[in-house]
Structure 1
Amino acid sequence: MPTYSEPRKQAIAVIESLRAGIPTRVSTRELPDLRESLIEQIAQDLRRLADGNPPPGRLLWGAYGQGKTHALTAVEHMALDEGFAVSRLSLSREVSCHHLFNFYGRVAIALRTPDSQIPGIQQALDRQEPGNLIDSPILNPGRYVHPLPAIVLEDYFYAAGEDRDLLYGDLMGTRLSMLELRRMHRLNRGETMPRFEENFRVAQHASAYFGLMADALVWCGYKGWVILIDEVELVGRLGRVSRLQAYRNLNWLLNWSKNMPYPIYTLGVVASSLRNDVWFSGAGAIEAKPTGRQARIDSVQIPALAAERGGPELALEMENFFKMAINSRQCPSIKLIRDSDLESLLERLRELHGVAYDWSAQLDVDSLRRKVKETGSQPIRTYIRAALEVLDMAYVYREAIDLQVDRLQEAALTEDESYFVPAADE
């Protein structure tokens, strides 16, 4: 069996991950950053989070094919490399954020840490000495809107076997009944569970689980919890009342009211269709007097609904939410990649292919870029697929190949506009 050098093995790993369409932490490190200024903004945010000052999160806007998901992948890998725990998920008809505790269960099971390939936090918890909890904010009275999650974490360290696994499941969002939690507390700690001023209710107290998880991650040695949300535009499919609740939850997770007490940073990517068709009707939507079509857009009707259901304070919170969302400094649009940057990416791909397969890789980068571009607007992955196919064939036949790029063309790069028409009012 041949023995490869470390650079060659790494180059093979990069090429094969790109061939499979699954970018890895190695591939994002080895390929040039096509949106350096944007990633640097987020890197500054993460430095603030690591310093104990959770910054406001961001939404990144972009049309289909402009690299929203790729940008999220780059941030995910950067955060893991910098020592943060990361949860990444996509919204869908089944996964939304209008029910905060259900959403917590989704982000908790998706949690990744820099030093483990196993999702979740159990391995990290099992390395800790429970006596050290006293040095963390986890046991501070009033730290969470309800003390139950902190008690569950304490009980986890006293339990063994199936009870321990069930308590871990509760910490990850699979709730146990209060009857079962009291039984485990009494069995494993020899005392009755403390009486609470009010019963735990998921609709009111879900943020306690988010806070407990974020604090537990820092206690385990990570710098904070980064939550990455893809396809935020699917919030637009909820009914009006559910959209209001989803926006409230997003506002809290994004720390746009500047009241996030936990080491959490949230970044979402959103199709421009949501901004143009559901949230706003032009840049002046918030200031304009609502009439006709404009009265039905969310930046107008949701604050009005908030005023009806929660009063002027909630209405102001929602107005601020939409103003932040349209603020280009806080929520920038992902711009199209410049030709020069795209050529740098393809040139680096050529170099890595040569290292991976130990040959003098040849690729006419400018010609390939122009040929793909002639087929119409294409996402970056199409250029990568085209480059890899040309390089693979040139490697096999040892001669320049004229690729027929039309068969690499992606499906029509348009959103289903009707999909973003909000569902009927609830």
Structure 2
Amino acid sequence: MQYVEHKTYGRGRVCKERFGGFELYVEFEDGISRWVRRDEVEFIGKLMPEKAASVLSDEKFKARQMIESLRMGIVPHDYVEEFTFGREKEIQKIKNWLKEIEGGFYIITGKYGSGKTHLLEYIRSISLEEGWATARVEIGQEESSLHRPYQIYQQIVRSFKCKIEGKTLGFREFLREVINNDKSHLLKGHKYLNKLQERLKMVDMGLYQQSDEELIWEWIEGENNYFRPFLYKTGTAANIYCYILNGISWSAHEILGLKGFLVLFDEAENIIEANYQYQLEKGKNFLRGLFMLAENNGDLLEDKIENIWGSKTGLRYHMLEQVGFAWKLPSHLKIILASTPSWKDYENILNIKVAEEKTLNIEPLDEKELKKVSDEIISLYKRAYNHNLSESEVDKLTKYISNKEMRSFIKGIIEALDLKRFYPEKSWGELLR
């Protein structure tokens, strides 16, 4: 038995591998099993190392774990709630929006380093606890770009989480709960999820070989096309992936009783960073489909496909698989996009108009909140390394650290504390000049 450590998901046990060992299926300590690339993990031996309690106390271990993550500009997922400052109004606004039945699309804007990614993680954390299925996607220019809908879908599958009866479930466990539910017959009209249900029940009855179950899961996860109907890996397959996501979000609410499915997109400014016009058009088509689905636009259900185009929506459908962009409305799908302030410039390009009350611009934290951040980091550092600073030294420190970007501010404080720990006789001026 081999064990690995992942920078995001922590430690886990390797269960199997595929693609010649390029990807590993790992059962992580949070109870969720995921496919991860081999180069994303570090092997830690055949036995899971135990915490060296005799070397570091739990408090000191936690503090050092936090400091090392903050040093890279990341707050560990388990601690994101306790390390959120000065965003009470913004958080309450988003909480109110999550309670609304209508209006499933929301935009968060802010400059680079302003804390958008951290806020998304916080939203995801509290939404998970409040009964939402969640997933998080980082939009890229090449990898996970919107003109490749299957890549977005695969990120959603890998990052999927929900909580049922206090237990955190991943994508496969969630769908098993849906299929085993008394209301699972409601999936009968869904072209993909109903096929998944039929095939898994055949596995359970022994009509498929047990080894085929993995192929079935890989099919619905968009990893292979061993089965029909296909999940095409083309930029024109946006309707297929919107249709499946609608089935997932609808099942979360109507079958399992969750509040719905919240998908958070980070780095949304990359949406228009396509190399070619045809890529931009495919990305726009997918985004507009998601937008209309989250907004419960009835035209999606009434759309008539003329050749490959929707008569009412103008959306482009896949030539070979012309399922609708929507299966059932309301979709119970909500989407948050985080972008730089240039989002407003994109609305005309993307042909998407988001109501002003469904947008939120993150402003830099004021000095009072920045003081709370620095005090918390200094307190963590003290617990991690038994390093004490006088009040006058603390007051002087922040004057030397740029606060234009939150990420740089946090990393700057930690680097300064490192220098002070190694060269305690020197002043801040000498260390940080």
Does TM, normalized by the shorter one, top 0.5?
A: yes
Provide the secondary structure at the position in 2 that maps to 1:245: helix
> Corresponding residue for 2:192?
148
Instruction: Note the C-alpha offset of 1:92.
Output: 1.8
**Residues 123 and 399 from structure 1, CA distance in 2 versus in 1: closer, same or farther, beyond 3 angstroms?**
farther
1:390 corresponds to 2:426: no
Distance 1:20 1:83 in 2: 31
TM (norm. structure 2) is 0.65
> Corresponding residue for 2:315?
none
Distance 2:217 2:247 in 1: 13
Q: Which has the higher strand share?
A: 2
TM (norm. structure 1) is 0.66
1:209 corresponds to 2:253: no
> Corresponding residue for 1:322?
353
Q: Which has the higher helix share?
A: 1
1:91 corresponds to 2:127: no
Instruction: Note the C-alpha offset of 1:60.
Output: 0.9
Instruction: Note the C-alpha offset of 1:230.
Output: 1.2
Distance 1:113 1:179 in 2: 28
Please show how residues 74-89 of structure 1 align to structure 2 within 5 Å.
Answer: 74-89=122-137
> Corresponding residue for 1:380?
406
Please show how residues 10-409 of structure 1 align to structure 2 within 5 Å.
Answer: 10-46=62-98, 48=99, 53=101, 55-94=103-142, 95-98=144-147, 100-113=149-162, 120-125=170-175, 128=177, 130=179, 132-136=180-184, 139-140=186-187, 142=189, 146-159=190-203, 160-174=209-223, 176=225, 202-215=237-250, 217=252, 223-238=259-274, 239=277, 241-242=281-282, 244-255=284-295, 257=297, 261-276=330-345, 278-279=346-347, 298=349, 318=351, 321-324=352-355, 327=356, 329-362=357-390, 364-373=393-402, 378-398=404-424, 401-402=427-428
- Asked if 1 retains the 8 angstrom alpha-carbon contact of 2:136 and 2:155, the reply is no
Give CA deviations for 1:27-51 in whole Å, capped at 9, x if unaligned.
Answer: 32232423221122223344x28xx
Distance 2:229 2:260 in 1: 31
Give CA deviations for 1:183-225 in whole Å, capped at 9, x if unaligned.
Answer: xxxxxxxxxxxxxxxxxx9454433311233355565686543
- Asked if 1 retains the 8 angstrom alpha-carbon contact of 2:134 and 2:261, the reply is yes
Q: Which amino acid aligns with 1:166?
A: L
**Residues 78 and 25 from structure 1, CA distance in 2 versus in 1: closer, same or farther, beyond 3 angstroms?**
farther
- Asked if 2 retains the 8 angstrom alpha-carbon contact of 1:89 and 1:228, the reply is yes
| RMSD over aligned Cα atoms | 3.7
**Residues 179 and 9 from structure 1, CA distance in 2 versus in 1: closer, same or farther, beyond 3 angstroms?**
closer
Q: Which amino acid aligns with 2:288?
A: R
List runs of 5+ in structure 2 lacking aligned partners. Answer: 1-52, 204-208, 231-235, 301-328
List runs of 5+ in structure 1 lacking aligned partners. Answer: 182-200, 280-296, 303-317, 408-426
Provide the secondary structure at the position in 2 that maps to 1:30: coil
Instruction: Note the C-alpha offset of 1:341.
Output: 0.8
% of aligned pairs identical?
22
Q: Which amino acid aligns with 1:23?
A: V
Provide the secondary structure at the position in 1 that maps to 2:338: strand
- Asked if 2 retains the 8 angstrom alpha-carbon contact of 1:372 and 1:378, the reply is no
Q: Which protein, 1 or 2, shows the higher relative CO under an 8 Å CA cutoff with sep ≥ 6?
A: 1
Give CA deviations for 1:378-404 in whole Å, capped at 9, x if unaligned.
Answer: 311222122212323434455574166
Aligned residues: 334
Give CA deviations for 1:278-302 in whole Å, capped at 9, x if unaligned.
Answer: 44xxxxxxxxxxxxxxxxx53xxx6
